[in-house]
Amino acid sequence: MITVREALPEDINDVYSIACECFNHPWSADMLLQEIRKDRSIVVVAEVDGEVVGFAALAVMFDEGHITNVAVKKDHRKKGVASMMMKSLMQLSEKFPLCMLTLEVRISNVDAINLYKSKGFVIVGARANYYNDTNEDALIMSIFYEVENE
Ligand SMILES: CC(C)(COP(=O)(O)OP(=O)(O)OC[C@H]1O[C@@H](n2cnc3c(N)ncnc32)[C@H](O)[C@@H]1OP(=O)(O)O)[C@@H](O)C(=O)NCCC(=O)NCCS
């Protein structure tokens, strides 16, 4: 069974190890720990049988929520883990008055693009040569929320 919960500082070793497995240029353990501790960031972890198998993070900047990391261990992919973590991040982010959620994704990362589309994100733009390692372009994907005017 997959369960998702907010990350605790003691999850940092698992979170950093998953980041290293999943990204060419992972955030440092210090940066990830700061995100876990920050009031204006949300980090969730997914567990299967007590093992942390994925994490996802969102940072609030002004009235925007930036999805900064979504990663699942290779042998636990295609089971709905990322989908559950995204749902949880989106629900938890409702405590902030956000006008949008946004993220960048490699144009070749079809799995991630499909995941975000399934959560309602739409492609709103691109950044040329965004990734230093391959010069690959990034797609910008976002969800916009209605903001009530007083
Ligand atoms: C992108 C990533 C986070 C997706 O994680 P995941 O846990 O495999 O994602 P999900 O299982 O929720 O969804 C992936 C697919 O599995 C399918 N799936 C979900 N549950 C399933 C199940 N029980 N059986 C079969 N397929 C299933 C989903 O429908 C989805 O299919 P689609 O790609 O055809 O739409 C993962 O591939 C990853 O960590 N990649 C490396 C890091 C990365 O690129 N992160 C994103 C950076 S922007």
Ligand 1: does its nearest atom lie under 6 Å from the Cβ of 111?
yes
Q: Over the stretch 68-92, which tens digit does the pLDDT of each residue have? A: 999 999 999 999 999 999 999 999 9
Residue 150 banded pLDDT, cuts 50, 70, 90: low
- Identify the domain containing residue 23 by its residue range: 2-144
Residues in CB range of 94: below 8 A, 6 or more apart:
none
Q: How far apart are CA 82 and CA 67, in angstroms?
A: 12
Ligand 1: does its nearest atom lie under 6 Å from the Cβ of 83?
yes
Asked, for residue 150, whether it belongs to a domain, the answer is no
Asked, for residue 116, whether it belongs to a domain, the answer is yes
* CATH number of the domain where residue 45 is located: 3.40.630.30
The predicted model scores a pTM of 0.96
Q: What is the mean pLDDT of residues 17-30?
A: 97
Q: Over the stretch 29-71, which tens digit does the pLDDT of each residue have? A: 999 999 999 999 999 999 999 999 999 999 999 999 999 999 9
Question: What is the percent of the chain with per-residue pLDDT over 70, rounded to a whole number?
Answer: 98
Closest CA to 16 of 76, 75, 73, 80: 73
Q: Over the stretch 30-40, which tens digit does the pLDDT of each residue have? A: 999 999 999 99
Ligand 1: does its nearest atom lie under 6 Å from the Cβ of 115?
yes
**Please, are residues 35 and 41 in contact by the beta-carbon 8 Å criterion?**
yes
- Measured by CA distance, the residue closest to atom 22 of ligand 1 is 79
- Count of domains forming the chain: 1
For residue 73, how far is the Cα from the chain centroid? 14
- Measured by CA distance, the residue closest to atom 33 of ligand 1 is 111
Asked, for residue 135, whether it belongs to a domain, the answer is yes
